[in-house]
Structure formats: C-alpha cells, structure tokens
Structure 1
Amino acid sequence: MNKIQKKPLSSLGYNFIETPLPKGKDEYYLRNEQWSRKDQYRKLTAYEVEALVRNDNTSDDWNTIFVSEEFNPQLVQHCHFYGMVRIGKLEPYFLEFHNLRLPVGLYNSTICACDFGDNVVVHNVNYLSHYIIGNEVILANINEMATTDYAKFGNGIVKEAEQESGRIWLELCNENGGRRVMPFDGMLPGDAYLWTRNRDDEQLQQQFKSFTEKQFDKKRGYYGMVGDRCVIKNCKMIKDVTIGSDAYLKGANKLKNLTINSSAEASSQIGEGCEMVNGIVGYGCRVFYGVKAVRFVMASHSQLKYGARLINSYLGNNATISCCEVLNSLIFPAHEQHHNNSFLCAALIMGQSNMAAGATIGSNHNSRGADGEIIAARGFWPGLCVSLKHNSSFACFTLISKGTYTSELDISIPFSLVVNDEHENRLKIMPGYWFMYNMYAIARNSWKYVDRDKRTEKIQHIEYDYLAPDSVEEMFNGLAIMELATGEAWYRLEENAPKKTLTEKDIRKKGKELLLNHPDEVARLTILVKGMENSSREVQLLKVHKAYPLYRELIALYGIKNILAADKASFAALKEAVKSAKRGAWHNVGGQLMKAETLEQLKTRIKKNKISNWNQLHDAYIEIGEAYVDDKLQHAFASLLEIKEVNIKDFTGEQLASWLTDSVGTMQFLTEQIRRTREKDYKNPFRQMTYGNMKEMNAVIGSLEDNSFINQTATELEAYKQKVQKTIREWEL
C-alpha cells in the first residue's frame, strides 16, 4: 500500500529539516549560508500584496514573502506561494535563449520556500520547492523541481539519522563491488584509480573514505542551487540536483541526486529523454538523446549521447560514449566508444582508447562468479567484433583483430597487433605493428587528444605522446621477450641444439646477437612465446626481425627528443642535469604518469596524514605534474644510454652528435610512414571504386596533399632537423 500522509496545509513549505535543529538555529540557517543576498530583501508593501492578489496569486502568509527594492508585482501572475520566498529584481524585459523568448517574472507556478535572484523567468513550473535560483535564470515547463532535506547531490555520503545502507557507491573495475568507491564532486581519474587499487592496504582505504566524509558535512537542510544564466525547460522531474551557472537542461525525463557542474567558460548541457540518477556531471559535459546514467561520475568535457548507458562507472575527461552500454568500468581521459553494439564491463581502460562496433568486453560469464577484470594500458583498440575473456591485461597501444578470444590474455609487448588465427589454431602477435603499417593513426591519436583537451582546470598532467615512460618501459620488456623467444627458436633447430644446459641469460644473449646481426636468419625462424595466453596452443611472434631494431631506434629517439626539449645551455649543463639518471617502473594514475617511487611516496604521505583531504591530494598531483618534465628527462636519458650500452661516465659529445644525427633518420622514417600509411587509402583501387574519378574522391574525402596533419608533420620534421643542427653547432659537439 502506498504510504500517503495527510498534513495541515499550513505546514506546506515549512519544517523542511526533519531532524532536530542545532540550538539557536531555525530551519533556514543553511539556506541563509548558501544565499549571500539574504539581507537585500524587504517585506511586501500593502500595495504590492493587493497587486499580487489581483493577479491571481496566493500565499499562506504574505509576511513570509520578501522582495528586492526593484520588485514589480505585475510580473508575478497565477502563482501559489508556501513558506518563506525571496524574490529579486523583476523588470519589464524578456529573456531570449536559442529563440525561446519569455517575459521576466513568475507565472503559473507553485513555489515552496525558494530564493530567486534578479530578473528570473519562471513559467509553468508545477512544483518548485526548496531551491535557490540565480540571476537571469529561465525555468519553463517543468513538472517537478524539488530538494529534500537529506539531499546529497550525488556525493557518496550519508546524512544525519540516515542508515549506512543508504550510501551511494560506485562499483568500479569489478562487478562484485570489491573495488567500490564513494563518488564525490571534484573526483579526478587519479582519485578513482588510487582508491580502486591497493585494496589490501586498509589504512590507505580508510583515508580515502575519511577524505570524502570530511569533504561534506552531515547536516540536513541544504537547498538545491541553480547558478546564474541557467536555462531549464520542458523537463519532467528534477530532484535533489544542484546546478552550476550557464547550464542548459532541456527535455530531460528524470534528474535525481546529481551535481551538475557548469560555468560560463565550460557550460554543461543535458538534452531530451535523458535519465540520470546518483551521479556527478563535470564542467563542460554534454548529455543528449535518451541517455541513461546511474551511479556514475562524468569528468569534465566528457559526453554521453544517443541512448548510451553508463552505470556504476567513471568516465574520464574529454571522452565520448554513444549508443552503447558501459558498466562497472573506470575509464581514463580520451576514450571513444560510438557504436550501439559495443559493450564494456568490469574494466580499467587507461585512456586514448577506442572501442569498435561489436566489441564485447565483459559479461561473457565464463566463470562460476561475476566477471573478473580487464586492464588495458593507453591506446587500447579492440577491433570489430572482438570478444575477450576476463581476466586479461594489455600493454600500451594494443590493437586486437576481429575474433573471439576464448582464453585469458596477457599481452605485454606494446604497439602490437593481436590476431586469433583460427585456421592454424594459433594466437599471433605482431610487435611494432603501428609503426610499420599504421603510423598515421597512432601519430594522429597523440596529436588529436592534445588538441581536444578542453579542460579549463588541468590539475592532472595527462600524457598523450605514444613515446612516454610507460610505453618505453614496456618496450624494454618487449625487447627482452623478443630476445629470449628468438634465442629459444634458434636453439630449437636440430643443428643448433646446445651441448649443455643454457641459462636464460645465455639464450637471450644469442637471441640479441641474431636480432642485431642476422635479421634475415631470424625472419626464417618460427618464434614462439610463452605466458601470453592461458591455453595449450602456440603463441607466435611475427616480424620480430623488423620490430626489434625499430623498438631500439624509437627508444633512442625518445631519449634524444627529451634532451632537445630540455633545452639546456650546453653539453656540460646536460651532463650535470642527468648525472644521476636511472630507469625504473612508471604507473598511469588517471592519465598522469608517475614514477613508481613517486607513487609510493604519495601513498605514504596519505597514510601518515601529511595529505589529509582530496584538495591536498590534488595539489600533490600538480606538484608531481610540475616535476614530470624533469622526471621524464631523467628516464629518457637513462633509456638512451641503456639502449646504446654506454655508461654515463663514458658518455661523450661525439656520441651525442652521432645519436642526434641518427635520430633525424628515425624522424624522417616516421614522417614518411605517416604519409605512406595514409597514402595507401588513396591508391587502393577498392577504395577508389565508389568514386567516378580521383577528382571526385578528393572532393569527398579531401586530397592527400591538403591533409593538414600530414603537412604539419612535414613542417615539424624540418623544425626538428634545424633543432638538431643548432644543438650540434651551439654545443660544439
């Protein structure tokens, strides 16, 4: 039976806070703290009351209606007021937004205990309760817009007298809730990452929970707020939602328990048919056309469109999800997922990722419990109709070819193409695929996300370059794997069978010697690798003889580019700056790369309460970001010396001059590959056949010569050559 309570009409608009009030406080004390203009209002005059009554307005008590000096009672018509209402300046103007023109004033609305700024437009709001409305706000055709005294606005907290069971959690990365976190306004991808990891560290976990509890008080009675210049029209239900300035909400079905961040510089929009419950919407977000979002955080400038479903998930900055369904996932910045038949569940996706049509990542229920987890480093691109099995892990910039992968995968070599060869019943992995066959895509991927980073507040320094500490560390790991696998393949041949038991070091040494000096012989070997698929079938590495030297060149290029970027005054200054350089593990913390020791120091500071709230942690992100350029230089230089097998003490200017010159060749190769891999699309007769001639093709897709990205890379190559020549000359190398 529905529990419908019958109460005196005289109590409507009063007694908002259901728990006992603090001593000496009335029910409006929090409302007055929120509304700084509370002292700028006066009581109505007898004339104004008479005018309001003539205009078919009612109030349970006209003495509880307060107005500004510039109040015009003729601009309030057919309204019913309950409780204390404060109304700002009303002047004979109309407000216009996107061709919607409505006169300033309050019309045909029921209003309970609300505050209004200057020159607001309130038309046909059936029920408006306990809201603070800013200046020049338009509210039109809204069924219900109300705030409860226990409103949490999407934050994972509990209020006074509430049960712990009522707390909202985000169950990220895993369906079983074992990595759940408490959402909060301002949550960054790094926050979500640190909290979902380290589950065995109870002290750290308790600190994160404490940070969130301290961020918000437990007092009941906060009003919902609508910032200046917001436009809200044709919405059905808005409940327990606080909204920043300049937001635009139109035609939403249900918005409940939300914080919608918005500002003049980064306005947020929510469109037709959307239903959003228990979440945080970041600055500059776009949500359109039938989206369903429940228990979520959208970081700034992210988008949900065309019926997308986002449930129990964190969506990083500058990411877009359209049409499809995403559950229980933590997604770092710069993610793209546009196809109705793609699905993502129980995954940690570390950014610069793209999910193709038909890709199914999760909910294949191939175990006796809930789905496990997928962890994918930057640049994860599962191709058309890819189905993966949990648990699996993928290195940076892994491309997965169409197919059903029935076993768990651990692809630890970056920049690889993964192929399920059903004909040969073999998993095949091609290291370095991107550089050999699709350089245009990976280079443009790095460029476009820098160009599309619209964050107005860049607290975390997000790395988009494909050559960075995380991918280079994985490249070193890939070199070791290729050396060992090549040595094993060579010794498997009967004529090369060793006469004694060899150590792994011996085998790697032989593999390295073959890869460096006898690539043609390596090309004839069948190179198999272990530990990348949880099955008994063979896993083969392809084109190792090409990938191996290419990885070495790219690691050297990474080192040289960072030396040039450091812009030191002389060779001696460089040597002084990098005298203690070393290589080590790095982690991707929400798109921000950190040294392993930096991350451990950060966690220690949190546990020792030297970082005692989220704002201080965000300040720490900024500090780490400011040190990133130097940290990367140290890592890049150490990587360069290691790949060149030179000790820092023996490092000379002549060597650097030679490496600088070699790097120009590598840059030239990459630039040519960018053009060549795009040029294939123009020369492919099957791509040409839908056009009458090349002129029509160029008119439709643009000519190769006019491709701005290709032209930009050519310009950058010339600038790089000049920078190298200038450095050699000025440093007297």
Structure 2
Amino acid sequence: MSQIKKGNIVRLGFDFIPPAFIPKGKDENHHRFEQNARSDYRSLTVEEIVVLIENGNRADNWEHILVCDPFIPYQIRHNNFFGLVRIGSMEPIYLEYRNLKLESGIYNSTIVSCDIGDAVAIHHVRYMSHFIIGNDVILSNISEMETSSTAKFGNGILREGESEDLRIALELCNENGVRSILPFDGMQAADAYLWTRNRQDLQLQNRFKEITEKRFLKTRGSYSIIGDRCIIKNSQNIKNVKIGSDAYIKGINKLKNVTINSSPDAFTQIGEGCELVNGIVGYGCRIFYGVKAVRFILSSFSQLKYGARLINSFLGDNSTISCCEVLNSLIFPAHEQHHNNSFLCAAVVMGQSNMAAGATVGSNHNSRAADGEIIAGRGFWPGLCVSLKHNSRFASYTLLVKGDFPHELDIQIPFSLVNNDVKNDKLIIIPGYWFMYNMYALIRNGNKYESRDKRLLKNQYLEYDILAPDTVNELFNSLRIIEFAVGSHHNVRLSDVTHEQILIDGKTKLTGDSNEIPSSIEVSGFEHSKRKVELVKVGQAYSLFKRFIQYYGSIHIIDFLKNNSFEQLKDKMKDSQRLEWENIGGQLIEKNAIEQLMSEIKSSKIDEWEDVHKYYHDLSKSYLESKRSHAFASILEITGETWETITIETLKSWMHEAILHRTWMVNEIFASRAKDYVNPFRNMVYNSDEERDIVVGKLDENSFILQQREELQVFENGVQDLLISLSM
C-alpha cells in the first residue's frame, strides 16, 4: 500500500528538515543560507504582486517571495510558488544555446523553496523543490526536480538519524562486497585501489572510513545545486544532485543522488536516455545514448556511450566504455571498451587496456561462489571472444588469443601472447610477443594514451611508457623464470640439483650456444591444471628482455649526461637501487613509500584525503628522479657492472648499443605495419594498390612511422654529441 501523506497547503514548501534534526538555534534553511549567502533580496511591492497575479502566478504567501533588483514581473508567468522562493536579478533578454532560444524569466513552472540566480530562463519545469540555481541557467521541459533533506549527492555517507543500510558503497573487485569502499567526490583510482587492498588490516580499513566521513557534515538540509550556465532540457527526474557550472544535460531519464563535476574548461555533457543513480561524475565527461550507471565513479575526461552499463565500478581518467556491461570492477586510467558483447566483472584492470568484442572477463558462472577476482597489469588486451576463469592474474601487456581459457591463469611474464591450444590440449605462451611481432601497436598505444590525457591538472604522474619500474621489474623476474625453465629442461632427471644450480645452468645455456636452447619448454605455475604449459621462443625472448632492460638504463643515462658530468653520474649510480614498485591507480610508487603512506594514515599523521592526494603529488614530483635511480640500478644489474667499474668506454658502448636498439625498434615499427601492405588477404578487398592507399593511407606517409623516424634522428644526433663530449 502506498503511503500517501496529507498536510495543510500553507505548509507546502516548509518542514524540509524534520524538527528533531534541526540544530538548536537554527531553522530549516540554515544549510541553504550557507550554500547561498547572497543578501540583496527584498520583498515584493504591491504593484509587483498585482502584475504577478495578472500574469497567472499564484503563491501561498507573497511575503515569502523575495527578489533582487532589477526585477521584471512581466517575465514571470503562469507559475505556482510555495515556501521561501528567492529570485535573482532579471534582464529583458533571451538566452540561446545550440539554437534553443528562450526568453529569460520563469514560465509555466511549480517552484518550491528554491533560490534562483540572475538572468535565468526556466520554462515548463513541472515541479522543482529545494534547489539552488546559478546564473544564466537554462531549464526547459523538465518533469521533476526535487531534493530530500538527507541528500548525499553520491557520497558514501549517512546523515543524522540514518541507519547503516542506507549507506551507498561501491562493491569493487569482486561480487561478494567484502572489498567495498565508500565513494566520495574527488576520489582517485589510487584511493580506491589502496582501500580495496589489505582487508586484513582492520585499523587501516577503519581509518579510510573515518577520513571519508569527516569530509562531510552529518546534519541534514543541503539543497541540490545547478551551477552557472548549465543547460538542462527535455528531461524527466532529477533528484539530489550537485551539478557544476557549464554542464549540458538533455533528454535524460533519471539523475538521482549524483555529483556531476563540470567547469568552463572541462564541461560535462549527458545525453538522451541516460539513467545515473548513486554516483560521481568527473570533469569533462561525456555520457550519451541510453547509458545506465548505478553505484559508480566516472573519473575526469571519460566517456560512457551507446547503452553502456556501469554498475558497482570505478572507471579511471581518460577512459571510454561503449555498449557493454561492466560490473564490480576497478579500472585504472586509459581503458577502452567499445563492443556491445564484451563483459567485464570482478576485476582490477590496471589501465592502458582494451577489451575486444566477445571478451568475457570475470564471469563467476564457472566457479562455486561469487568471490573470484581477476587482476590484470597495465596494457592488458584480451582478444576476440576470450573467456577467463577466476582467479587469474596477468603481467603487464598480456595479449590473450581468442578462445575459452578453462583454468585459472597466472601469467607472470609481461609482453606475452597466451594461446589456449585446444587441439593439443595445452597452454602456449610466447614471452615478448609484442617486441617480436607488433612493435607498431605497442609503441603507438603508449603515445596515444599520453596524447589523450586531457586532465587539466596533471599533478599525479600517470605512467604510459612501456619501460618503467613495474614492467622492468617484471622483465627481471621473467629472466629468472626462463633461466629456471631452461635449466630444469636440462636437469629433468637430476633430483639433487639445487634451485640456484638450475638457474646457473639455464643462464649458461641461454647465453651460450643457441642450439642448446629448446624450441619450447614446459613450465609450471602458469595455469591451475595438469596439462602442459609451454614457453616458446624463449631464447629470442631472453635476449630481447635483456636488451630492453639495458636500453631502459641507457636512455636514462643519456638524459642525465645532458646536464651532468661522468663523475656525477657515478655518484648517482652509487646510491641507485632496484626496489619493488606498485601500480596504484596508474601512478607507480615504490612499495616502501606505499607502506609509509598506510602507516601514516593509521597513525593519524595523515588525516584527510587531501593529504593523501598531496602524498601522491609529492611522489609524482620526484617520480622521474626515482625512476632514473631504478634505471641506473637496472643497467648495472643486467650488465654485471658496478658504479665503481664503469668507465667512459663502458658508457660509450652502452650508447652505441642504445642507438642500435632504437634503430631496430623503429625498423620493427615499420615492418609490423608493412605486413598489412604485402598481405594478399588484406589487399583483396581493394581493386588496386592506389585504392588501398586512399582507404588506409600510404605506408611511406604514415604519420606515426614518420614521427618515430624523426625522433630516432633527434635521439641519434643527441647521443653522438654526448659521445663527442665524453671523448674530449
């Protein structure tokens, strides 16, 4: 049975806050007056009231209508006013936005206890209750706009007197809710990641909750806000919202309990058929065409389009999700997912990722309970029609071949291609596949993500380079894995051989005669099954991994020597360390620094999210120096040198090898793209080479390849100059 309440008409517009929750010495408007502290309102004159009545307006009490000068009563027609309504200054103008021209003023609307800014155009708003409207706002053809006294605008808090079951939480990473976090306006992917981890540390978890709740007042009575120069038209239900300036909203079905951040430099747009409930939208976002988002955070400059469903999920900056369904996931910046038949659930995807059509990542239907998780390093790329089983984990830049993977996976080697060989019932892994066969896409993607980073304040350093502390550490781990695999292959019958002896033997084989390196090697620990798991092309991968690690160190040495001496380089190398790093929300941070941060949060030394963010930003300022130290330590380790043994000749050798490696990379970029021009099956859809070049562009005019060649020339010239200076 519907609970219909009845009250005296003179109270319509009042009693917004139940009396029990009004602070002593305050009234029901105390938050409203704090939100809008404007003081130049005045009462209506008798003449103005007469004009308003003649224009078809009615009010329960005209004394409750306050206005500012200049006031034009002729621009207020056929409205109902209830409660305290305050109207800003007016002008004899019309407002225009994208060919919609509306006379300023208020027309054919019901207004209940609202503050309305200067020079607004409000037309056919059938019910608007407890809103603060900014200046130069256009509201046209809206069914319902209302605010409750307990409005929280998408934040995971409770107002005074509310029970815990009313709290909004995001159930990230898996479906059973045990990694839930409390969303708040301004939350970053790093915040969400740290909060979802270390669930055994109850003190840390409680502190996260405490510093979130202290950001907000518990008292009731905040009004919804529509910022300056917003346009909202042809929409249905809008309830408990906080909308920043310059937002453009049209044709939506529902906005409920949301914060929509928007500004003149980063305005947000929301289009037809969208329904957003219990969420926070970042600056500069685009949400169009039937999107459904519930319990979510959409970070700045991201997009939801074409019927996308985003539920119990966090989507990082500069990401796009179209058409498909994403549930219970934490997604770092620069994620792309465009296809209606892709599905992502119960996952942590660490950014720079792309979900292909038909990919099903995270379905628990093949598990016993809804508590599985998938963790994928940055650059994750599941191919067409991939399905995975919980729990699985993937190193950076893992590429999955089309197919159903029937067992849990732990792919520990980055830049790999993983293939489920159904015919032979085995898992095949090609370490370093991206280096061998698709350098074009690998390097181009890194450049693409950086160019698409539209954040206005880049005070948190998001790493897009393929060679960084996280991936290089994975490469080092992969060298040990390959060495052990090769060593085990040659010592399969020896039971008394130690782990260290196997590693040494494997390394000897890998650095010696290539004929001693088998074409494929069986390994364990990559799949939870009894079938074979094979690494192939390990000799080539081993050599490439070492070359890329040395190149990583060399380019940082080259950059350092542009402004520093050889002696200063040795001093820096003396103190360099290859520490453990972790990707938290797209920012790479040394593991010990993360532990320090969590310790300071637990001790209350850090007691606000702004201080946590400052911690990120401070580390971002020093990141390039820390990365350089990691690079210095990496090249010493991979070459077997020490800071004491390095000579000028050593540096020259490394620089020459860096030029050769960079040249090889550029040649591979060209070669991997050129394959598409000589493949007869690629060319068969064109009636001539000329038509192909018109459709896909000429190979020798490819802008990315030309850019890489130019950058190679600049790099080589710079290194040659350094070589000359080192010889002097």
Query: Is the contact between residue 459 and residue 618 of structure 1 (CA under 8 Å) also seen in structure 2?
Result: no
Where does structure 1 lack aligned partners over 5 or more consecutive residues?
Answer: none
Aligned equivalents of 2:368, 2:397: Cα separation in 1: 31
Identical amino acids, percent of aligned pairs: 55
Aligned equivalents of 2:40, 2:649: Cα separation in 1: 75
CA deviation string 1:583-625 (max 9, x = no partner): 1211001000011111111111111111101011001110010
Residue type of the partner of 1:202? L
Aligned equivalents of 1:723, 1:607: Cα separation in 2: 48
> Aligned to 2:153, what secondary structure does the other structure show?
coil
Partner of 1:53: 53
Query: Is the contact between residue 520 and residue 537 of structure 2 (CA under 8 Å) also seen in structure 1?
Result: no
CA deviation string 1:468-503 (max 9, x = no partner): 0000000001011111111122334xxxx65x8211
Partner of 2:709: 714
Aligned equivalents of 1:475, 1:132: Cα separation in 2: 55
> Aligned to 2:534, what secondary structure does the other structure show?
strand
Pairing of 1:291-440 with structure 2 (within 5 A): 291-440=291-440
Q: Which stretch shifts more, 253-262 or 571-580?
A: 571-580
Partner of 2:122: 122
Partner of 1:502: 497
Aligned equivalents of 2:558, 2:11: Cα separation in 1: 72
Aligned equivalents of 2:633, 2:192: Cα separation in 1: 31
> Aligned to 2:588, what secondary structure does the other structure show?
strand
Q: Which stretch shifts more, 643-652 or 423-432?
A: 643-652
Partner of 2:35: 34
Aligned equivalents of 2:74, 2:725: Cα separation in 1: 77
Residue type of the partner of 1:692? N
CA shift for structure 1 position 731: 3.5
CA shift for structure 1 position 131: 0.5
CA shift for structure 1 position 292: 0.5
> Aligned to 1:239, what secondary structure does the other structure show?
strand
CA shift for structure 1 position 99: 1.0
Query: Is the contact between residue 17 and residue 149 of structure 1 (CA under 8 Å) also seen in structure 2?
Result: yes
Query: Is the contact between residue 301 and residue 319 of structure 2 (CA under 8 Å) also seen in structure 1?
Result: yes
Aligned equivalents of 2:227, 2:37: Cα separation in 1: 13
Partner of 1:204: 204
Residue type of the partner of 1:670? M
Mapped pair 1:98 → 2:93: no
Mapped pair 1:595 → 2:584: no
Query: Is the contact between residue 32 and residue 222 of structure 2 (CA under 8 Å) also seen in structure 1?
Result: yes
Query: Is the contact between residue 568 and residue 574 of structure 1 (CA under 8 Å) also seen in structure 2?
Result: no
> Aligned to 1:649, what secondary structure does the other structure show?
coil
Residue type of the partner of 1:547? A
Mapped pair 1:546 → 2:540: yes
Mapped pair 1:528 → 2:529: no
Task: Specify which of 566, 575, 579 is matched with residue 580 of structure 1.
Answer: 575
Change (3 A) 1:411 1:78: same
CA shift for structure 1 position 568: 3.4
Query: Is the contact between residue 308 and residue 323 of structure 2 (CA under 8 Å) also seen in structure 1?
Result: yes
Residue type of the partner of 1:8? N
Q: Which stretch shifts more, 571-580 or 552-561?
A: 571-580
Residue type of the partner of 2:25? G
Partner of 1:613: 608
Partner of 1:250: 250
Aligned equivalents of 1:322, 1:479: Cα separation in 2: 38
Query: Is the contact between residue 570 and residue 730 of structure 1 (CA under 8 Å) also seen in structure 2?
Result: no
Aligned equivalents of 1:590, 1:26: Cα separation in 2: 43
> Aligned to 1:720, what secondary structure does the other structure show?
helix
- When normalised by structure 1's length, the TM-score is 0.98
Query: Is the contact between residue 69 and residue 90 of structure 2 (CA under 8 Å) also seen in structure 1?
Result: no
CA shift for structure 1 position 521: 3.0
CA deviation string 1:87-136 (max 9, x = no partner): 11211111111111111110000000111111101000000111000010
Query: Is the contact between residue 490 and residue 525 of structure 1 (CA under 8 Å) also seen in structure 2?
Result: no
CA deviation string 1:157-211 (max 9, x = no partner): 0001110110001000010011000000000000000000011111111110001
> Aligned to 2:721, what secondary structure does the other structure show?
helix
> Aligned to 2:693, what secondary structure does the other structure show?
helix
Partner of 1:461: 461
Residue type of the partner of 2:529? S
Aligned equivalents of 1:217, 1:226: Cα separation in 2: 20
Aligned equivalents of 1:148, 1:565: Cα separation in 2: 58
Query: Is the contact between residue 233 and residue 251 of structure 1 (CA under 8 Å) also seen in structure 2?
Result: yes
Where does structure 2 lack aligned partners over 5 or more consecutive residues?
Answer: none
CA shift for structure 1 position 371: 4.2
Q: Which stretch shifts more, 9-18 or 185-194?
A: 9-18
Q: Which stretch shifts more, 569-578 or 428-437?
A: 569-578
> Aligned to 2:501, what secondary structure does the other structure show?
helix
Residue type of the partner of 2:196? T
Aligned equivalents of 1:14, 1:705: Cα separation in 2: 72
Q: CA RMSD in A?
A: 1.1
Mapped pair 1:624 → 2:615: no
CA shift for structure 1 position 690: 0.8
Task: Specify which of 499, 510, 513 is matched with residue 508 of structure 2.
Answer: 513
Partner of 2:174: 174
Aligned equivalents of 2:56, 2:719: Cα separation in 1: 80
CA deviation string 1:646-682 (max 9, x = no partner): 1222122211111011011110111111111011111
Aligned equivalents of 1:44, 1:574: Cα separation in 2: 77
Aligned equivalents of 1:525, 1:123: Cα separation in 2: 74
CA deviation string 1:320-374 (max 9, x = no partner): 1000000000000000000111000000000000000111112242222114000
Task: Specify which of 691, 694, 698 is matched with residue 696 of structure 1.
Answer: 691
Aligned equivalents of 1:633, 1:473: Cα separation in 2: 14
Residue type of the partner of 1:671? V
Partner of 1:223: 223
Mapped pair 1:650 → 2:645: yes
Mapped pair 1:81 → 2:81: yes
> Aligned to 1:234, what secondary structure does the other structure show?
strand
Query: Is the contact between residue 364 and residue 370 of structure 2 (CA under 8 Å) also seen in structure 1?
Result: no
Partner of 1:24: 25
Aligned equivalents of 2:462, 2:71: Cα separation in 1: 50
CA shift for structure 1 position 239: 0.3
Aligned equivalents of 1:491, 1:164: Cα separation in 2: 60
CA deviation string 1:276-331 (max 9, x = no partner): 10000010111110010000000111111000000000000001100000000000
Aligned equivalents of 2:568, 2:708: Cα separation in 1: 30
CA deviation string 1:389-448 (max 9, x = no partner): 000000000000011111100000000000001111110000010011011111011100
Residue type of the partner of 1:541? L
Aligned equivalents of 2:289, 2:519: Cα separation in 1: 54
Residue type of the partner of 1:505? E
- When normalised by structure 2's length, the TM-score is 0.98
Task: Specify which of 634, 639, 657 is matched with residue 634 of structure 2.
Answer: 639
Instruction: Report the number of matched residues.
Output: 726
Residue type of the partner of 1:550? L
Query: Is the contact between residue 519 and residue 538 of structure 2 (CA under 8 Å) also seen in structure 1?
Result: no
Mapped pair 1:569 → 2:564: yes
Aligned equivalents of 1:396, 1:368: Cα separation in 2: 28
CA shift for structure 1 position 525: 4.2
Query: Is the contact between residue 363 and residue 388 of structure 2 (CA under 8 Å) also seen in structure 1?
Result: no
Residue type of the partner of 2:624? V
Query: Is the contact between residue 489 and residue 525 of structure 1 (CA under 8 Å) also seen in structure 2?
Result: no
Query: Is the contact between residue 389 and residue 405 of structure 2 (CA under 8 Å) also seen in structure 1?
Result: yes
Aligned equivalents of 1:457, 1:110: Cα separation in 2: 40
> Aligned to 2:701, what secondary structure does the other structure show?
coil
